[in-house]
């Protein structure tokens, strides 16, 4: 897994969203059958600084790029959570949290 430090994190309301490069067997992990097809999976994580909650979800895309399904990853292991949070921190999570805190103090909202 990897997060692009250039544009891998964005602030969306009260959360920080990360696009995670899935360099593992997504078919095995998510019970899919994309191997040998032009289908692909985009993996994301949402981090909520006020509660320190981390949610994961993926979007399964068809060969034409259209969305087949968006599904939560409700069975993240502790190790997966730790890796995702470490990757988010390496990509600048703390700076994004500070920016959100600063904007809340000045009354600005992020969208």
pLDDT in tens, 80-91: 999 999 999 999
pLDDT digits (tens, 9 = 90+) for 7-24: 789 999 999 999 998 889
Tokens 């949070």 belong to which residue?
85
The pTM score is 0.85
- CA-to-CA distance for 54 and 73, rounded, in angstroms? 11
Distance CA 76, CA 28 (A): 14
d(CA 36, CA 38): 7
Span 38-43, mean pLDDT?
Answer: 95
At residue 110 the predicted structure's pLDDT band, cuts being 50, 70 and 90, is very low
Please determine, for residue 108, whether its predicted confidence score (pLDDT) is greater than 80.
no
The whole-number pLDDT of residue 107 equals 55
């Amino acid at each position: 897994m990897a997060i692009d430090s250039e544009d891998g994190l964005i602030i969306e309301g009260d959360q920080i969203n990360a696009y995670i490069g899935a360099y593992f067997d997504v078919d095995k992990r998510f019970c899919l059958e994309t191997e040998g097809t032009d289908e692909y999976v985009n993996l994301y994580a949402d981090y909520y600084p006020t509660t320190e909650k981390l949610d994961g979800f993926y979007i399964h895309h068809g060969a034409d790029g259209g969305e087949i399904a968006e599904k939560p990853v409700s069975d993240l292991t502790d190790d997966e959570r730790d890796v995702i949070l470490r990757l988010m921190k390496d990509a600048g999570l703390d700076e994004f949290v500070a920016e959100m805190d600063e904007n809340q103090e000045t009354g600005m909202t992020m969208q």
